[in-house]
Amino acid sequence: MWIKEAQELDKKYNIFITLAEKAEGKFPLAVKDNICTDGLRTTAGSKILHNYIPPFDATVVQRLKAVGAAVVGKTAMDEFGFGTFSVNCAYKVPKNPLNTDRSCGGSSGGSAAYIAASKHAKFALGQSTGGSISCPAAFCGVVGLTPTYGLVSRYGLIDYGNSLDKIGLLAKTVEDAAFALGIIAGHDPKDSTSLPLERRGYAKHCIPQDLKIGVPKEYFESVETGVEKAVWVAIKKLEAEGIEYREVSLPSTKSALFSYYIIAMCEASTNLAKYCGLRYGLSENPEGRSFNEYFSSVRTKGFGQEVKRRILMGTFARMAGYREAYYLKALKVRANVIAEFKRVLKSVDVLAAPTMPMIAPRFSEIASLTPLQHYTSDVLTVPANLAGLPQISVPCGKSEGMPVGLHFIGNHLAENKIISAGWFAEKIFGGKHG
Amino acid sequence: MITKETVGRVAKVARLNLTEEELEKFSHELSSIMEAFEELKKAKAGKEPAFHPIVLRDSVRADIAEHCLTEDKALQNAEQKEGKFIKGPRAV
């Protein structure tokens, strides 16, 4: 039943890169294709891993299987997560189930589309480096939960940027996301960046609390009018229900974007150095070739244009003579961004802002964007990701008939606060609990 | 401005073969991206670089052998192999 539905949805919306042959368990689970699944092809959306069958499960998959998850398939994504709209795909480009002329967002686009369209699934696994859970959640009208960096094990995740990657959830409701977080969160000795915290439940925090909300004024610059209106209506609705808000300022928002891209590209170019056509993935006959000739040939054939672009930029920014100006400076700017968030989050419990500056764009609109315009689309999701803060995107209204996401951002490990805010907002905005 | 020559030099380090057209295209794209990123130089910065968003402690474990992949599983994804070895290009 779950596989049949997944096959049907895949035909309509290009949701999966690989579908499982059978799925037996207590509930269906779709997994972003950069998270390893034992015996089920995992490509990270790249041709260079077109034949990679992991011999192990990622810790998150193992934990979910232990409570009855049946993996139905591996979801479509931008190659290695490099994208905002799930169009940098080496396989099929997923479509938004609410309007197939529009993007479902990226890079966890397939997981968000699956949750939006499935009648059976309550949550799916996604992953965010700079906003890849929140963005597709907003575009597809579902809930997206990105945990604090280090709360959820990255073991078995195909790296993009080690200091930025977080595995999280796309879900039908805030409660579904909170329930799943309780299963996947908690220390894992196999991930050296995993925080030494016991596993615990989060769903019990789904009760309205006396929350103080901060609305960062910089998060409304360059936002589409329809999105801005929908978000303000939502904030006013919360206010009418007794949730206070006040304006706050995060002046480093724009510099966070540049800091993020430099760090992400530097880390990505280092991580992707391991794809050399030997132990796994795309390979060629090595006879009569030098090492460098062989590596270069395999990598040139296996990587798409956006991957090459980011490897080039990351390699450039790490080269002698540029490292200080770009990479080290970006890391220092990040320290300031974290300090700025911490300062503001002393006076409010959570921040509330539009998740994305636009509704899901049409594919025809995306086609005319330059690479830089793609990157600047992430300006609202990147700062919290750069700082490793937890975030939840909740549908809060519509613009031009497409969903708009309201983003709640909390302090490190304040998942309970963003979940409470999200749950209450969902209830007020007429979500599943409404 | 990132010239075609610089892109070529970076591509060589990154082990990518680029065509003349790609060199031209990436030279333009990277130039405009890095020009925008120049703003970073003016950005307010902390004193120390933040390599991670949270403070991490070194993670160590007792030096005791644990379960790891079997030879068969470790080799299952390598297409070029001979016996229990992965075959690569000649090193010398």
pLDDT digits (tens, 9 = 90+) for A311-335: 999 999 999 888 988 999 999 999 9
The span from the CA of A380 to the CA of A255, in Å, is: 12
- Whether the pLDDT of residue A376 is over 50: the answer is yes
Chain B contacts in chain A segment 169-208 (CB below 8 A): 189, 192-196
Q: Which residues pair with A363 in a beta bridge?
A: none
Chain center to CA of A355: 12
Radius of gyration, alpha carbons of chain B: 22
φ, ψ of residue A73 to 5 degrees: the values are 170, 175
In degrees, rounded to 5, the angle at the alpha carbon of residue A298 between the alpha carbons of residues A297 and A299 is 95
Cβ atoms of A141 and A395 within 8 Å: the answer is yes
Alpha helices in A129-220 (DSSP H): 134-140, 174-184
Low-confidence spans in chain B with pLDDT less than 50 = none
Q: How far apart are CA A243 and CA B3, in angstroms?
A: 54
Residues in chain A: 434
Q: Which two tokens stand for residue A300?
A: 């040139």
Contacts of B12 (CB under 8 A, 6+ apart): none
Encoding tokens for residue A395?
Answer: 């549908």
- d(CA A14, CA A363) in angstroms, rounded, equals 14
Two structure tokens written together for A193:
């960046």
Number of H helices and number of E strands within chain A? Answer: 14, 11
What confidence tens digit (pLDDT) does each residue in A128-163 have? 999 999 999 999 999 999 999 999 999 999 999 999
A194 is catalytic: no
The residue from A103, A111, A132, A153 that is catalytic is A132
Number of CB atoms found within 10 A of residue A270's CB? 16
The full set of domain ranges for chain A reads 2-252+334-428
pLDDT digits (tens, 9 = 90+) for A26-73: 999 999 999 999 999 999 999 999 999 999 999 999 999 999 999 999
8 Å CB contact between A406 and A394: yes
Q: Pairing between strand A391-399 and A402-410?
A: antiparallel
Contact yes or no for A82/A160 (Cβ under 8 A): yes
- pLDDT digit string, tens, across residues A14-24: 999 999 999 99
Span A2-252+334-428: which CATH code?
Answer: 3.90.1300.10
CB–CB of B44 and A412 under 8 A? Answer: no
The answer to whether residue A425 scores a pLDDT higher than 80 is yes
A319 neighbors A262 (Cβ within 8 angstroms): no
| CB hemisphere CA count around B21 (13 angstroms) | 1
The fold of the B1-41 domain, in CATH, is Histone, subunit A (1.10.20)
**pLDDT beyond 80 at A208:** no
The C-alpha of A196 sits at a distance from chain B's nearest C-alpha, in angstroms, of 9
Question: Active-site residue A132, yes or no?
Answer: yes
- Pick the closest to residue A407 from A273, A214, A242, A248 (CA basis): A214
A92-136: pLDDT as tens digits: 999 999 999 999 999 999 999 999 999 999 999 999 999 999 999
Burial class (CB within 10 angstroms; exposed 0-12, middle 13-18, buried 19+) of B74:
middle
Question: Which residues of chain B does A312 touch, with a Cβ-Cβ cutoff of 8 Å?
Answer: 7, 10-11, 14, 16, 26, 30
